[in-house]
Amino acid sequence: MALMQVRGDWAPMRGALEKIAAISRSPQAILEAIALELEDNTRRRFTTNVAPDGTPWAPLNPVYASSRKPLPILVQSGQLRQQLPTEVRGPTIIVGSAMPYGGTHQFGATIIPRTEPRLKFKMGGKFFSPKKVVIPARPFLGFGAEDRVAVEEQLHLALELAMRAR
């Protein structure tokens, strides 16, 4: 029979395990750190023009693109990118859009006239009168691979800090 005995002061390990357990009892700080990462990733999508799942956003209508400032898609005024309230409610992280047109860009929309038979607008110096206009979905909210990496990194950091504490 072979045996091995390990003796020593287990207090540092016990202290680290208690700090790890404290994270699960009171996760507010780690959730807030994760929320900031998710908010940053969401803002980055306005530069990369890529949805959370990695799909490129639909390009702008060429006539519309020629009549606007040469900026990335969904960044004309910058409001949609800037107004992303992020909140932690209990175990839930919420990242959303405060802008009324946020849903139109996230999910897409079809615009039809309410009182006239056709829409009427000017774009690129030309007048248009279509029966409807379809705005494609350009999802900027969601949870993708880069978000998963950010969450894992924050959890790893929290565990690493807890294990170093004595």
pLDDT over threshold 70, residue 165: no
Q: How much is the average pLDDT of 32-43?
A: 96
Q: How much is the average pLDDT of 36-45?
A: 96
Residue 51: band (very low, low, confident or very high) from pLDDT cuts 50, 70, 90: very high
pLDDT over threshold 60, residue 56: yes
Q: What is the pTM of this model?
A: 0.81
Residue 12: band (very low, low, confident or very high) from pLDDT cuts 50, 70, 90: confident
With a CB cutoff of 8 Å and minimum separation 6, the contacts of 146 are: 41, 44, 52
Rounded CA separation 156/154 (Å): 5
Query: Model confidence over 61-115: pLDDT tens digits?
Result: 998 888 888 888 888 888 899 999 999 999 999 999 989 999 999 999 999 999 9
Query: Model confidence over 125-141: pLDDT tens digits?
Result: 889 999 999 999 999 99
Task: Quote the pLDDT of residue 113.
Answer: 95
Q: Where are the beta strands (DSSP E) in the chain?
A: 86-89, 92-95, 109-111, 121-123, 126-128, 133-135
Rounded CA separation 7/3 (Å): 13
Tokens at residue 82, please? 């800037």
Supply φ then ψ for residue 94, to 5 degrees.
-120, 125
Share of residues in the chain with pLDDT > 70 (%): 99
Query: Model confidence over 14-36: pLDDT tens digits?
Result: 887 888 888 888 889 999 999 99
Tokens at residue 66, please? 């020629």
Rounded CA separation 62/54 (Å): 23
- Bridge partners, 87 (sequence order): 94
pLDDT over threshold 70, residue 166: no
Considering only residues 78 and 118, tell me which one the structure prediction assigns the higher pLDDT: 118
